Amino acid sequence: MRALRIDRTDDGTRAALQDVSVDELTEGNVVIRSHYSSINYKDALAVTGKGKILHRYPLNGGIDVAGVVEQSGDDRFKPGDEVVVTGYFLSEKRDGGFAEQVRVPGDCVVPRPDGLTLFETMALGTAGFTAGYAVRRLLENHQTPDMGPIAVTGATGGVGSFAISLLAARGFEVKAVTRKTGSAGDYLRGLGAAEVISPDDIPEDGKPMSKPGWGGGVDSVGGELLARLIKQVVPYGNVAAIGLAGGVKLETTVLPFILRGVGLQGIHSVECPMDRRLAIWADLAGEHKPVKLDEIVSQIVTLNQVADACEAIIAGEITGRTVVDLRG
């Protein structure tokens, strides 16, 4: 089978299409014939070598896959079952979904949720799942629309796009935060954003706490922008932190947390427990299925085109989601 395999070289990491046998794949008792995958920011970091994602080499890239079971040593799955795998250390410690076949332990496998096609599961992928997880965490910690607008940073990315759609559908006023205020404005408003603003519209005033104006946020940028946002959240509002595109350091004080009760909700989708994972997928497939799912998918690529698409994502040239069609 063909796979986009990432290996370490003297010059760093290198991704290249290779022929790989199933026996060479990392261990697992379920073999899946891949139909679709998707490209997340994390995938782009791994494939381009811009980020240290893999914990072992070589590995097939791709943190997502959807397909049909070919072989199973797990009684919960049988050949012909349509299934999904997201996270669970694919393309970190396990061979991932940028391959025509994937082998994983049965504990990593989710039956295709009723209400979603295999294509739609990868239109969502880790990005949609993470957005769904973030919204769930906000709601579990008592976030309500009357607390004020929600800032969604990194708004044009996959997580940001889905977060806007999911929050707007629940009645929240969403403000999309992006430097692409002109080119992506119509796209973001079409997803449900009430306003499209620049990161500079969340200013730094040098104080440990700023005037409260945000009900909360879903942040995929991290770093300085997240620190500024936390200081401006109203009492008992929440920010879900899901990314690090702007940096890993967070310089803040405890004051917003102990004087306003602000909640910082960390979203770690890779090891999300299965009971919660199934509930999030059911929600994404059911009543709260994103209504703009087709519009959020901006391109469909083949396995041959994945490396170039990853470069474009790192360069900030892609809005929305990229699905990989592996059926060819």
Q: Name the CA radius of gyration of the chain, rounded.
A: 20
Same domain, 75 and 7: yes
Q: Where does the chain have alpha helices with state H?
A: 41-48, 118-140, 158-169, 185-191, 223-231, 255-259, 274-285, 293-296, 306-314
Same domain, 102 and 65: yes
- pLDDT higher than threshold 90 for residue 183: no
Lowest mean pLDDT among 96-105, 282-291, 304-313: 282-291
Arithmetic mean of pLDDT, 256-274: 98
Domain count within the chain: 2
Same domain, 173 and 262: yes
Q: What is the pLDDT of residue 60?
A: 98
Same domain, 78 and 149: no
Contact 66, 126 (CB under 8 A): no
Same domain, 246 and 320: no
172 pLDDT band, cuts 50/70/90, is: very high
Same domain, 178 and 232: yes
181 pLDDT band, cuts 50/70/90, is: confident
Domain assignment of residue 286, yes or no? no
Report percent pLDDT > 70 for the chain: 100
CATH code, domain carrying 70: 3.90.180.10
Q: What is the pLDDT of residue 292?
A: 83
Q: Which domain holds residue 57?
A: 2-115+296-325
Domain assignment of residue 291, yes or no? no
Same domain, 87 and 147: no
For residue range 198-226, list pLDDT tens digits in order.
Answer: 999 999 999 999 999 999 999 999 999 99
Q: What is the pLDDT of residue 243?
A: 92
Same domain, 64 and 178: no
Question: Could you tell me which of 229, 301, 328, 227 has the C-alpha nearest to residue 43?
Answer: 301
Which of 249, 266, 283 finishes a domain? 266
Arithmetic mean of pLDDT, 41-45: 95
Report percent pLDDT > 90 for the chain: 94
For residue range 76-90, list pLDDT tens digits in order.
Answer: 999 999 999 999 999
Q: How far apart are CA 153 and CA 87, in angstroms?
A: 22
- pLDDT higher than threshold 90 for residue 328: no
Q: How far apart are CA 205 and CA 122, in angstroms?
A: 41
Q: What is the pLDDT of residue 193?
A: 97
Domain assignment of residue 285, yes or no? no
Q: What is the pLDDT of residue 11?
A: 84
CATH code, domain carrying 195: 3.40.50.720
Q: Is 120 helix (H, G, I), strand (E, B) or coil?
A: helix
Neighbours of 6 (CB within 10 A): 25
Same domain, 170 and 254: yes
Q: What is the pLDDT of residue 283?
A: 96
Q: How far apart are CA 250 and CA 102, in angstroms?
A: 37
Give per-residue burial for 184-216: e unless 16+ CB within 10 Å, then b: beebbeebbbeebbebeebeeeeeebbebebbb
